Amino acid sequence: MSACAKSAARMKSRWRSMNLSWNRKHLLDIESLSAEEILIVLDTARAFRAVGERAIKKVPALRGKTVVNLFVEPSTRTRISFELAEQRLTADIINFTAEASSLKKGETLKDTARNLEALNADIIVIRHSASGAPHFLSRFLRARIINAGDGAHEHPTQALLDVFTIREKKPAIAGLHVTILGDILYSRVARSNIWALTKLGAHVTLCGPPTLVPKVFEQMGCRVTYNVDEAIAQADIINLLRIQHERQRKTMFPSLGEYTSLFGLTRERLKRTKPGALIMHPGPINRGVEIDSEIADCDRSLILDQVTNGLAVRMAVLFLINGGKGPQEVEA
């Protein structure tokens, strides 16, 4: 038995003795989850990662279930890892491509979703540019809904895979100093990460241009600073965000060059971080803008670990949303 499988077995035995289980039909956001629910997802993901180390990586948890990947906004990482997670769980999969659909002929999201349900979709994984689109579907569909990113609101599975990745590398989330640097205002990743990290007891600092990091974010329990050197000096984790031009309605700073010189993680700035500080980024990265290209590929970068962990986390979310109670139920 591998070390990962042994640790998953110990963790499953612990959950069996606890009276905690997942009881939600949808995963719409992190804001409404408790710390215990976040831990159920993380430990279930750890159990699925152990499954991923076996010769046969497939389990029948979603056999006979139909999952629709309803991506109405571009995606590489989230879409592909959801699809692979569904394959590993033996689901029947429908990949809906907005560009090739009747949305282009004026059909509404509501009618599109009701047609998918008429084909007996059990789970709908939705990405949409409108904040609240997953919540909207959850109000009238029988299907279970997973939010794969809605506008600038939330990206819950990204935050879950981010905290999963941090938990792998650091002894505890509680007490950790996490700096999120970049375009916070338009970032669903930032909002979901803030909720997840603060619920688990981390100290979160936000930094970036004042136009992209309004002080109102302090109401979410984090600290806001515009001094990048100070923001990164104490950080155990630096999570970089790209500038989300697709959501900005006006110019938020003079130029990309100025952004990089004032807020980019350059090699010079990296020297001023703690030696054990780790670098994260949800992707897609803009090399040479928010992150120096060499830093993206250096051994302190967790960027590809995040992508790898996305598979186990999305398997866990699909399993729980389909009625799984927690890691104790993941097939040995």
Q: What would the two tokens of residue 136 be?
A: 């909207």
Structure tokens at 82: 């959801």
Record the tokens describing residue 286, joined without a space: 């803009």
Q: Please, what is the minimum distance in Å from the beta carbon of residue 183 to ligand CP?
A: 14
Contact flag: residue 192 with ligand CP (CB under 6 A): no
d(CA 269, CA 273): 7
- CB 284 → ligand CP: shortest distance, Å? 6
| Positions 225 through 284 that interact with ligand CP (CB under 6 A) | 282-284
Under rule CB under 6 A, residue 134 binds ligand CP = no
Residue among 176, 286, 151 nearest 238 (CA): 176
Judged by CB under 6 A, the residue of 28, 82, 149, 232 near ligand CP is 149
Q: Which stretch binds ligand CP (CB under 6 A): 69-77, 217-225, 272-280, 319-327?
A: 69-77
Binding of ligand CP by 193 (CB under 6 A): no
Identify which of residues 116 and 159 has a Cβ nearer to ligand CP in the complex: 159
Single out the residue of 66, 69, 138, 158 in contact with ligand CP (rule: CB under 6 A): 158
Told to check if 77 binds ligand CP by CB under 6 A, we report yes
Kindly determine how many residues on this chain lie close enough to bind ligand CP according to the rule CB under 6 A. Answer: 11
The conformation of residue 54, written as its DSSP 8-state character, comes to S
Q: Which residue blocks in the chain are alpha helix, DSSP H?
A: 3-16, 35-51, 77-88, 109-118, 133-140, 156-169, 188-199, 228-233, 256-263, 267-270, 293-296, 303-321
326 lies in the binding site for ligand CP (CB under 6 A): no
**Minimum CB distance to ligand CP smaller for 49 or for 155:** 155
Q: How far apart are CA 85 and CA 72, in angstroms?
A: 20
| Cα distance between residue 77 and residue 307, in whole Å | 7
Nearer to ligand CP among residue 168 and residue 331 (C-beta): 168
Chain residues binding ligand CP by CB under 6 A are 75-79, 149, 155, 158, 282-284
